[in-house]
Amino acid sequence: MHKVSINFATIIVATVIATTSVFAAGNIVKPEKQNWSFSGLFGTFDRGALQRGFQVYNEVCAACHSARLLHYRNLKEIGFSEAQVKAIAASKEVTDGPNAEGEMFQRPARLSDRLVKPFPNEEAARAGNNGALPPDLTLMTKARVGGADYLHALLVGYKPAPKNMKLGEGMYYNLYFPGQQIAMPPPLVEGGVEYADKTKSTVDQMSRDLTTFLAWAAEPELEWRKRMGVKVILFLLILTGMLYGIKRKVWSDLH
């Protein structure tokens, strides 16, 4: 029994040491808290930021990253007109078919199509990115600890590597990525996108807009849920007041 206890204690100590080493090696830096328009009970998405964020995604990120859960028709929810969305979709080509001859063919995308993926399959994606698989971005703000704050920090967190740090081949230094080495090159550069609304496209501005768009992509029903939540709270408050008044009325005869 004593021997079993010693072995169990040894396993616990070894596990703690290993876990501590992993976190130390990762050297994770907590992202700074940002002020987002969609935060809080009454928060809503800024339509201008959403449209600019989609532009950043479409012109920069879509070359490597998919957003497979979004359809082109969903873009009407962020303020684009139907004509604008049709033009956005028509600028992309999708594989359809088979046709009458039994062959697949290319056609312009429609409102009912999902956003076109940059690669036909995972193997092609890895081959085009030195073995690294670019993740789908639809749920990215939900998939990472820190959510929108982390994503914004990651996008602006590219720095020159410290002199005492040796980067792996094809890796870049990023302060907020676990381990501080990331395979993705810095995606945003000053003036890299010419915004349709003439907003100055700094790295910070593009990062905020893209993060806002991806936060909406992960929770397009967010505003509806918040409105419904407020209505439910108001209903419960009114119901509570009515029940209290009824209780006072019923029990008043007993006093």
pLDDT at 1: 44
Residue 202: pLDDT above 90? yes
Phi and psi angles of residue 107, each rounded to the nearest 5 degrees, phi first: -145, 160
Residue 129: pLDDT above 60? yes
In terms of phi and psi (left: phi > 0; alpha: psi -120 to 50; beta: otherwise), the region of 158 is beta
Asked whether 190 and 42 are in contact (CB, 8 A), the reply is no
Angle at 34 between CA 21 and CA 66, to 5 degrees: 75
Q: How many whole angstroms separate alpha carbon 214 and alpha carbon 224?
A: 17
Domain ranges of the chain: 2-48+132-248
Q: What is the mean pLDDT of the chain?
A: 88
End-to-end C-alpha distance for the chain, whole angstroms: 69
Q: Is the pTM of this model over 0.85?
A: no
Q: What percent of the chain has a predicted confidence (pLDDT) above 90?
A: 68
DSSP states along the chain? -HHHHHHHHHHHHHHHHHHHHHHHHHTPPPPPP---TT-STT----HHHHHHHHHHHHHTGGGT---TT-BGGGGGGGT--HHHHHHHHHTSEEEE---TTS--EEEE--TTSBPPPSSSSHHHHHHTTTT--PPP-TTHHHHSTTHHHHHHHHHH-B-PPPTT-PPPTT-EEBTTSTTSEESS-----TT-S--TT-----HHHHHHHHHHHHHHHH-TTHHHHHHHHHHHHHHHHHHHHHHHHHHHHHHGGG-
Could you please state the CATH topology (level 3) that the domain comprising 2-48+132-248 is classified under: Cytochrome Bc1 Complex; Chain D, domain 2 (1.10.760)
Q: How many whole angstroms separate alpha carbon 99 and alpha carbon 101?
A: 5
- 37 CB-near residues (< 8 Å, 6+ apart): 43, 44, 45, 46, 49, 212
**Tens digit of each residue's pLDDT (9 = 90 or more) over 41-53:** 899 999 999 999 9
Token readout for 39 is 């935060």
**Tens digit of each residue's pLDDT (9 = 90 or more) over 28-72:** 789 999 999 999 989 999 999 999 999 999 999 999 999 999 999
Average pLDDT over residues 162-187: 92
Least confident piece of the model among 17-26, 38-47, 130-139, 148-157: 17-26
